[in-house]
Amino acid sequence: MSKHAAAKCAVGLLAVAALGACAPKEVPIVEHQGACTEVFQAQVCTWARMQGDSVIDIGALVPLAMVENAPKEGAMAWPPVPAANLTLPEAAQQATGLKHMTIFWESMGHPPGPYLTPHFDSAWGVAVQTDGSVVCSGVSGAGGSHASFAVLRYQP
Answer for the pair 49, 61: CB distance below 8 angstroms, yes or no: no
User: Higher confidence at residue 69 or residue 120?
Assistant: 69
Rg (CA), the chain: 25
How far, in Å, CA of 99 to CA of 41, rounded? 24
pLDDT tens digits, residue range 29-84? 999 999 999 999 999 999 999 999 998 888 888 899 998 999 998 887 777 788 99
When the pLDDT of each residue in the chain is averaged and rounded to a whole number, the result is 74
Q: What is the pLDDT of residue 3?
A: 62
8 backbone dihedrals φ, ψ, rounded to 5°: -60, -45
Domain ranges for the chain = 3-125
- pTM of model > 0.75: no
DSSP assignments along 60-108, one per residue: EE--HHHHHTS-S-----SSPPEEEEEEPPHHHHHHH---EEEEEEETT
